Amino acid sequence: MPQLAKRMGRAKPSAIMMVADKAKQLKAEGRDIISFSIGVPNFLPGDHVYAAARAALEHDSGQYGSNRGADALLDAFLQHIGAIGLEGYSRANCAAGIGAKHILYNLAEVLLDEGDGFAFATPYWTSYLDIGEILDADIQLLPCPPEQDYKLKPAQLDAALARKPKLFLFNNPNNPTGMVYSRDEIAALADVIARHPDTWIVTDDIYNRMVFDGVGYHNFVHVRPELRDRVVFVDSLSKTYGMPGWRVGLMAGPEVVAKAVTTMNSNHITNLPEIVTAAAVAALSGPQDVPTAKNAEFQAKRDQVMAVLDAIPGVVCPRPQGAFYAFPDVSAAFGKSHEGKRIDDDVDFCNALLEAKGVACVPGSAFGEPRSMRISYTCPTEQLQPGLQRIQEFFAELR
């Protein structure tokens, strides 16, 4: 039998999906499971989105569409990002893809050759590592432990960019930590970036509408517009609009990059489906009451999560200000036992928590931080408090 390509030796299935699958299996066996594992928003888009999709179905052209994305979609995106201060871009700066994951993969393909430096902070969204490994990039991890609130410091970035990586990928608000960089923090990092002209910057900011406490969303180009010739902004409809399965991601950046991503699209996907495009246009340009209401709900849930985590002795959790994740350091439990089962690391911890209490969380090692675990608090509201209480009980029962 012929062999698979060598890159498949480096490609792994998603660790998050593995936890979600185990939780599903236990549920199917009749266990009472509360899942804090998968990062799906758990709400549906507004009626106008479905109406637009139905209308598109009625008027389906049956044709292939634009490799870059339909003009109506790009225009709606331009208007949408204009509202967060990303102005002055045109269609030629943009491209659409099958979700931000696809856009990020495309970007890595068009910006990185084999062996090129690819820098990003830990904790990271799991796919960054997978994409870098599949493309055989030289991955440079920048550790941001809980002691520094999981945030990248300017001096750290300076040292990393001095090695001239081809690509620095930045994620704000952050998955898995929920951290959001303030305008001052972004400005300090942007000053560093300005001193290192050899590196492309991709900002994966798909949670940019999901920020709490009035902190606002800030991008490097807000504070240093001259960086626009090497910063690529990535967005997605998945989380903001409750549309993860519709698969719409978008980018805005230098024309040369948008053109390259369009070329990749022409080889990979040809176009986004017409019905999906119509739904996306409606979501971006229609009433914003669903995302606005959901953001308020997520902020209230964040408060509930933090009230419990802050009360557990030994647990340290930098306070999230965006997305819908909390990332507590649970290493105080390592070396202890629960009902006779020894917990040596984050994987033992999450397994024991799932077995004993029916609460599914994702081990931090999936995100490059093995002292922590990720709580995704998008579950139905009535499950949140019971799930948190079970985590609290679990800690109290450690010996």
Please tell me the distance from the alpha carbon of residue 351 to that of residue 310, in angstroms, as a whole number: 22
Q: Does 236 bind ligand PLP (CB under 6 A)?
A: yes
Judged by beta carbon, residue 24 or residue 390, the one nearer ligand PLP is 24
Please tell me the distance from the alpha carbon of residue 233 to that of residue 257, in angstroms, as a whole number: 11
Alpha helices by DSSP H, 32-177: 47-58, 71-82, 99-111, 126-134, 154-162
CA distances 266 to 130, 216, 378, Å, are: 23, 36, 35
Q: How far is the CB of 39 from ligand PLP (least distance, A)?
A: 5
Q: Are 308 and 392 in contact (CB under 8 A)?
A: yes
Judged by beta carbon, residue 265 or residue 331, the one nearer ligand PLP is 265
Q: How far is the CB of 337 from ligand PLP (least distance, A)?
A: 33
Judged by beta carbon, residue 39 or residue 253, the one nearer ligand PLP is 39
Q: Does 364 bind ligand PLP (CB under 6 A)?
A: no
Q: How far is the CB of 396 from ligand PLP (least distance, A)?
A: 32
Q: Does 39 bind ligand PLP (CB under 6 A)?
A: yes
From candidates 46, 178, 249, 363, binder to ligand PLP by CB under 6 A:
249
Judged by beta carbon, residue 204 or residue 329, the one nearer ligand PLP is 204
Q: Does 206 bind ligand PLP (CB under 6 A)?
A: yes
Please tell me the distance from the alpha carbon of residue 33 to that of residue 30, in angstroms, as a whole number: 9
Judged by beta carbon, residue 24 or residue 336, the one nearer ligand PLP is 24
Please tell me the distance from the alpha carbon of residue 320 to that of residue 300, in angstroms, as a whole number: 12
For ligand PLP (CB under 6 A), the number of binding residues is 13
Q: How far is the CB of 100 from ligand PLP (least distance, A)?
A: 3
* Selection from 297, 358, 355, 290 nearest residue 324 by Cα: 297
* Selection from 187, 297, 274, 232 nearest residue 81 by Cα: 232
Q: Which residue is nearest to ligand PLP (CB)?
A: 99
Q: How far is the CB of 11 from ligand PLP (least distance, A)?
A: 17
From candidates 238, 271, 295, 376, binder to ligand PLP by CB under 6 A:
238
Contacts of 398 (CB under 8 A, 6+ apart): 333, 336, 337, 338, 343
From candidates 66, 175, 219, 376, binder to ligand PLP by CB under 6 A:
175
Max CA distance (Å), the chain: 65
From candidates 116, 204, 274, 329, binder to ligand PLP by CB under 6 A:
204
Please tell me the distance from the alpha carbon of residue 323 to that of residue 239, in angstroms, as a whole number: 8
Window contacting ligand PLP (CB under 6 A); options: 61-69, 194-202, 236-244, 361-369 = 236-244
Q: How far is the CB of 162 from ligand PLP (least distance, A)?
A: 26
Rg (CA), the chain: 21
Q: Does 244 bind ligand PLP (CB under 6 A)?
A: yes
Q: How far is the CB of 243 from ligand PLP (least distance, A)?
A: 9
Q: Does 171 bind ligand PLP (CB under 6 A)?
A: yes
Please tell me the distance from the alpha carbon of residue 211 to that of residue 182, in angstroms, as a whole number: 11
DSSP state of 166: S
Residues making up the chain, counted from first to last: 399
Please tell me the distance from the alpha carbon of residue 242 to that of residue 47, in angstroms, as a whole number: 12
Q: How far is the CB of 171 from ligand PLP (least distance, A)?
A: 5
Taking CB under 6 A as the criterion, which residues in 89-128 touch ligand PLP? 99-101, 125
Q: Does 352 bind ligand PLP (CB under 6 A)?
A: no
CA distances 109 to 143, 207, 366, Å, are: 24, 23, 23
The DSSP element (H or E) to which 363 belongs, if any, is strand 362-363
Please tell me the distance from the alpha carbon of residue 214 to that of residue 292, in angstroms, as a whole number: 13
Taking CB under 6 A as the criterion, which residues in 8-27 touch ligand PLP? none
Residues making contact with ligand PLP (CB under 6 A) = 39, 99-101, 125, 171, 175, 204, 206, 236, 238, 244, 249
